[in-house]
Structure 1
Amino acid sequence: MNSSLTKNRLVLTKDKHTDFKNSLLDIWNQLEIPKESDESWRKFPIASVDWKELQFDSENIATSGSEKEYEEYSLPEKTIDSILSALLKYTPKNYFAYLSLVTAPYYEIILLDEGESIFSFEEEGDEPRHSVRIFYLQKGKTNKTEIQLQNFHTSENLHMSSSLDFFIAEDSSYLEILDRETSDMDLYRFRNVCLLTHSDSNIKYHYYPIGGFRSKLFLDAHLLGKGAEVTVDGVSALGGRNLKDLDMEMFHHADHTTSKISYKAIVTDKSHHIFTGNLIIPPNLKKVTAHQESFNLSLNKKARAEANPKLEVLAEDVSCTHGATVGDIDEEQYFYLLSRGLTPEDSKALLVTAFYGETIHSIGFSEDVKLALETRIKEILVGGK
């Protein structure tokens, strides 16, 4: 594992960081905190957020340069400039993505090696946290990376975090990411994830968020070269009054590209899950394949799950499918298990585990990692039984 190797983790120099932030200001100065009337935020209670309680002052945002210098430089200047150009071009023009860019105290660039890696990122305290991370895989390399994003909080105050994560796979590379996001129950999390796949490259992104009070995720995948592939899947397990709003978009830019979104959510108590999938295929592309599906399971009448598939397909030589389901535990299966001698609790646990188990076991990580994911989800939904 590479998590402890500082040679793979670097930050921009203060001057380069400051110059890049200055290049963002024209766009940043045109952005404002979104409103519920904005299409992407119509399901998220953004109007009820008490920014003062979150210690966030939108009128006084620091845009100073990096607080860190290089730890060890392991990428050519030309590559660094290429990465920054990608950030400038593909960062979505939404408020919280740019908030991360202009307020993060430094940008961390992580050079992924051949093999497997684990990276842990921790946040703590009441003050707002802002971060930018770029994961970069060079041409022809293969990597599996597990990310552990954790938030620790001891007070009862609401607080917030904004982050922007880029994953860049150069030509003929393979990158598989397991994103394990853990939030305390008082956190507002605003997160943007961007996946960039070049020619004949393949990114598989597995997303497993746990906890939090309110969270909004924008995931934008760009298939930039011929033969590029992106697969996004994962499981949300929600309890209490947790709200998660996921907005995922696939942008096809080249011929012979393939994308798939397959996401599952289980809600209980008074939780609320929203999934919006967007597929964008511009005119004149050829041999594009895209699939999108969302499966949602409700374990309580007061819990809510929503699925909103969207397609913007302007080309003809494509194969596109989509599907979505929202429902309760299958009563026939439930009563069948009861008839075989299982208790109501065990029957429910078995059916819930079967719902998300296939997704977990399809990921390309160790059995120990898969078991840990299953355990976390089971603890939220059925008390770990």
Structure 2
Amino acid sequence: MNSSLKKNQFSIDLTTKQEWNQSLMADWEGLSFPTEKEENYRKFPISSIDWKEVGFDPNQKSFANHTSNSSTSEPLLSTAKQKEILDLVKTHLPKEYFTYLSVLGSSEISVFPCEEPIHIITESFTGDEPKCLFRIFYVPSGSSTQIQFKTETKHDSESLHLLSIVDVFVSEKDSIVEILDEENLDEDLLQFRTVLVLAKENASVKFHHFPFGGFRSKLFLFSHLLGKGAEVTVDGVSAIGNRNLKDLDMEMVHHADHTTSKISYKAIVTDRSHHVFTGNLIIPPNLKKVVAHQESFNLSLNKKARAEANPKLEVLAEDVSCTHGATVGDIDEEQFFYLLSRGLSPEESKSLLVTAFYGESIHAIGFSDEIKQELESSIHTILVGGK
């Protein structure tokens, strides 16, 4: 791993890790391997996966191999603070099979204190053996930071291989964090990923997700707005082709008054790819002055490609402002023929319309113009070829 956070990264000590893992065992033993009968997996063909090819036995409930990012850095957080963070994570850790598998199967719990303005994390996974990773990113009170992830996978054979990751972001009181998450995955990867966002009082969290490639990918993103004044925004663009499947579950849970959340996600599918977006908004009774929005926009560039949007709302409070919307469609024919009439070629017209579709999401990112251009180039290449 190459990272500007590497000098600050440390691992939870073995005794604390073992004690925490033990506290999870009762929940873990109650979890069974998921099937398509479960709501979260009804669109994900998990029963058709050849697990022997992947090198994983679901009955053993463990990985044969682990990744290790051991760091010699001294802990920058006290043992008491580490246990406080782990207790908070345990409270909100989703009761999901692959989430627990990755947490309990990881060789270590990596912690990244995020106090500096910019952090860059590049992960490159190689080889065919199953891998799991568990990371916690801690943003102290009053800190303002940006975190850029770039994850890529490579392997030598044509067999499926497995990667499972759990990332937790703990944003303390009055902190500000913006996360840019880019995935460039190989065409034989089976990925399960959980992202857990915990935003305390007056914390502001922005999470931008840009996944590219992969064979089968399942993402769970759970955001908990824990303190008054907390704000969480999630957006991004999936750009997929070939026979790729991406299945995204995003959930916003409000726990306090005067909290604000927004999900605005876009997907562009081509070839025979399939994209599923499920957004869930949960506002329990008695909360006041909650604002929440959810929207999903999907563009198909091929009749054999599919995109689905499933918005859900569980709003039990009255003093709230909530909206939701979803669209699925092809390129607008009127706009396409208008551009043709102005002298553009079919390829140029298609390129302009696709760029316009995802352009707003790129511009919303608070990172450098160079980073935005790289993202735009990646999307453009996948969908309409190089410029």
Q: Same fold (TM over 0.5)?
A: yes
**Residue equivalent to 1:195:** 197
1:1-385 matched pairs, under 5 angstroms: 3-60=3-60, 61=62, 68=70, 70-385=72-387
Quote how far apart the aligned CAs of 1:73 are: 1.3
Is the alpha carbon distance of 1:4 and 1:227 closer, same or farther for their aligned partners in structure 2, counting shifts above 3 Å? Answer: closer
| In structure 2, distance between residues paired with 1:93 and 1:317 | 30
Unaligned runs of 5+ in 2: none
| In structure 2, distance between residues paired with 1:383 and 1:95 | 38
Please give the secondary structure, in 1, of the residue aligned with 2:220. Answer: strand
| In structure 1, distance between residues paired with 2:376 and 2:211 | 12
| In structure 1, distance between residues paired with 2:369 and 2:71 | 39
Contact kept? 1:17, 1:65, Cα under 8 Å: no
Quick one: which amino acid aligns to residue 85 of structure 1? D
| In structure 2, distance between residues paired with 1:62 and 1:261 | 33
Quote how far apart the aligned CAs of 1:70 are: 4.9
Quote how far apart the aligned CAs of 1:122 are: 2.0
Is the alpha carbon distance of 1:129 and 1:23 closer, same or farther for their aligned partners in structure 2, counting shifts above 3 Å? Answer: same
| In structure 2, distance between residues paired with 1:65 and 1:224 | 33
Quick one: which amino acid aligns to residue 132 of structure 1? F
Quick one: which amino acid aligns to residue 317 of structure 1? D
Structure 1 residue runs of 4 or more that deviate by more than 4 Å after TM superposition: 62-70
Contact kept? 2:179, 2:207, Cα under 8 Å: yes
Is the alpha carbon distance of 1:198 and 1:314 closer, same or farther for their aligned partners in structure 2, counting shifts above 3 Å? Answer: same
Is the alpha carbon distance of 1:340 and 1:311 closer, same or farther for their aligned partners in structure 2, counting shifts above 3 Å? Answer: same
Quick one: which amino acid aligns to residue 129 of structure 2? E
Tell me the matched-pair count.
384
Is the alpha carbon distance of 1:363 and 1:66 closer, same or farther for their aligned partners in structure 2, counting shifts above 3 Å? Answer: closer
Is the alpha carbon distance of 1:251 and 1:286 closer, same or farther for their aligned partners in structure 2, counting shifts above 3 Å? Answer: same
Quote how far apart the aligned CAs of 1:59 are: 3.0
Unaligned runs of 5+ in 1: none
Give me the TM-score of the superposition, normalised by structure 2: 0.96
Quick one: which amino acid aligns to residue 6 of structure 1? K
| In structure 2, distance between residues paired with 1:94 and 1:277 | 17
Q: Percent identity?
A: 58
| In structure 2, distance between residues paired with 1:285 and 1:360 | 33
Quick one: which amino acid aligns to residue 55 of structure 2? Q
| In structure 2, distance between residues paired with 1:211 and 1:100 | 21
Quick one: which amino acid aligns to residue 225 of structure 1? G
Deviates more, 1:13-22 or 1:48-57: 13-22
Quote how far apart the aligned CAs of 1:6 are: 3.5
| In structure 2, distance between residues paired with 1:288 and 1:70 | 44
Deviates more, 1:49-58 or 1:321-330: 49-58
Contact kept? 2:63, 2:130, Cα under 8 Å: no
